[in-house]
Amino acid sequence: MESLYRGHRFRPDIISHAVWLYHRFTLSFRDVEDLLAERGILVSYEAIRYWCQKFGPSYSRTLRRKQGRLGDIWHVDELFITIQGQRLYLWRAVDQDGDVIDILVTKRRDWRAAKRFFRKALKQQGQAPWQLITDKLRSYPAAHRDIFPSVVHRTGQYENNRAEVSHQHTREQERQMRRFKSMAQTQRFLSVHGPIQNLFRVGRHRLKAVHHRLLRDRAFADWREATCAP
């Protein structure tokens, strides 16, 4: 990982902090530029954009390896997004804890796209889920029968609220970015965004303050280890 930073004028902790700010919160590159400038770090928003594009995927891969396999109940849902006037579909799977398992952007939402997404998520996790929960889109049963027919498939009303709620961050970021610019950019951004959100999404419900601080400190330690930033 250290070789990634070779030739860069700024220290790894500054670069990783900029990437963290951008993906952890709903900020623009110019917002991150201002936050760094307040700390006396003068860097252009274009440099921050370059850092996110270069280092974000590497951070994401390291975090995915570290987090290992997630939950065994998959909540899957698709969301339409508009890119340059074209309607596309964002498939997302989250587990029973709300952690993002995988995402995929496609031009269609037929059974072929659903199969492609299931294969991608299955490769990412290395093991089929115990339960699959989706809405009543007819593409899901067809893909389910081909990819993992032995998995229990449920489509009950309100059962998939967890997946639907997980789209909120995408909509917020889409508004902040004034819509996504391309399929590749959307796939790249959300593939980095998911693991970072998983790491720092520390729940507060019925959690003592001391335990919350402990989990948050552990998340920051994992982040520093993943980015090789002291």
What are the residues whose beta carbons fall under 8 Å from the beta carbon of 116, sequence distance 6 or more? 104, 106
pLDDT of residue 1: 61
If asked whether residues 183 and 77 sit together in one domain, one would say: yes
d(CA 187, CA 52): 13
pLDDT tens-digit series, residues 103-138: 999 999 999 999 999 999 999 999 999 999 999 999
pLDDT of residue 207: 78
If asked whether residues 61 and 134 sit together in one domain, one would say: no
Specify burial of residue 168 (Cβ count, 10 A radius: 0-12, 13-18, 19+). Answer: exposed
Please indicate, yes or no, if residue 221 is contained in any of the structural domains: no
Of the three residues 10, 37, 67, the one that is the final residue of a domain is 67
d(CA 16, CA 22): 10
If asked whether residues 145 and 77 sit together in one domain, one would say: yes
Please indicate, yes or no, if residue 230 is contained in any of the structural domains: no
Of the three residues 38, 67, 96, the one that is the final residue of a domain is 67
Q: In which domain, by residue range, is 57 found?
A: 2-67
- Amino acid present at 127: Q
Of the three residues 14, 43, 67, the one that is the final residue of a domain is 67
- Amino acid present at 190: L
Domain count for the chain, please give it: 2
Query: What average pLDDT score do residues 205-211 get?
Result: 82
CATH number at residue 194: 3.30.420.10
Please indicate, yes or no, if residue 61 is contained in any of the structural domains: yes
Please indicate, yes or no, if residue 110 is contained in any of the structural domains: yes
Please indicate, yes or no, if residue 212 is contained in any of the structural domains: no
pLDDT tens-digit series, residues 146-197: 999 999 999 988 888 888 887 777 788 778 777 888 899 899 999 999 999 9
How would DSSP label each residue in 99-154? -EEEEEEES--SHHHHHHHHHHHHHHHSS--SEEE--S-THHHHHHHHH-TTSEEE
Residue 199 has pLDDT above 90, yes or no: yes
If asked whether residues 86 and 63 sit together in one domain, one would say: no
Distance of CA 14 to the CA centre of its chain: 22
Please indicate, yes or no, if residue 222 is contained in any of the structural domains: no
Helix and strand numbers, DSSP H then E, in the chain: 9, 5
d(CA 115, CA 108): 12
In this structure, are residues 70 and 125 in contact, taking their beta carbons and an 8 Å threshold?
yes
d(CA 13, CA 224): 8
- Angstrom CA distances, 46 to 28, 59, 196, 226, stand at 11, 19, 21, 24
If asked whether residues 60 and 100 sit together in one domain, one would say: no
